[in-house]
Amino acid sequence: MGGRLAEKVVLITGAAGGLGRAMAHLFAAEGARLILTDMGADRLDALKADLARDGHDRVMVMEQDVTDEARWEEVVDAGVAEFGRLDVLINNAGIGYMADLEETTLAEWKRVHAVNSEGPFLGTRKAIKVMKGTGGGSIVNISSIAGLIGAVNLAAYCSSKGAVRLFTKAAALHCARRGYNIRVNSVHPSFTETPMVRDMITAARNPDKMEAALSTAAPMGRMGRPEEVAYAALYLASDESSFVTGTELAVDGGNTAA
């Protein structure tokens, strides 16, 4: 099978969500063998069925809580047992949390960081252990423009995504200096048409006003589309980016250029 990811084994966390689904379909079309994880067997089974209908059957799915250290061992080891190796890890699983800073509880702060920053740490650490013995690979951490600039009522989310940005750079240097041939990069989407963003709009005091604000936040005058983020991740996952590591790729319609 040809394609930009021909025969590469790719693990995507949060695969049943908006960005995860887009990446799963795009990567499968580009020849990847997929290990897809998320919370909820029903959503994963539905995604696997969708991929099968499109002719993509080299797919395994597993439920995963990315904050569970032991589960990372099980997921990666099962994927390697099935496909023989791991070439790409997409740390995509994440949660949003909108609240006034003064009303943010420590419990919510810890929950957001557990998923958004501890999850990528656990996944990256495990992936490095596997990839360094099989010639290298690519790790792509899905952060956010909220990891580049601040945002009102998103203190916990900004902090967690900012942590992902600098963790990515530290991991990239770690791998490069040791000659592992493992590249580590981050992708920073702006507001994108995903279920998580849609939930944030619905929960707002004035959903119509919130949707209008998100749609016009970027100079290009609209929210992003999941496939636009997926193509950015595809570039970093592929051999086309073989000299790119420790970088951040903003997919934001110009939001952070202002």
d(CA 88, CA 137): 6
- Residue 20 CA, chain-centre distance (Å), reads 7
Other residues' Cβ atoms within 10 Å of the Cβ of residue 152: 9
Q: Rounded distance, CA 176 to CA 181, Å? A: 7
Task: Quote the CA–CA distance of 218 and 59 in Å, as a whole number.
Answer: 35
CB-based contact 157:96 (threshold 8 Å): yes
Angle at 205 between CA 199 and CA 208, to 5 degrees: 70
Are 11 and 76 contacting, i.e. CB atoms less than 8 angstroms apart?
Answer: yes
Give the residue numbers annotated as catalytic, written as ranges. Answer: 157
φ, ψ at 12 (rounded to 5°): -120, 120
Calpha distance 171→183 (Å, rounded): 9
Q: Quick check: 144 and 196 in contact, CB under 8 A?
A: no
Provide DSSP, 6-25: TT-EEEETTTTSHHHHHHHH
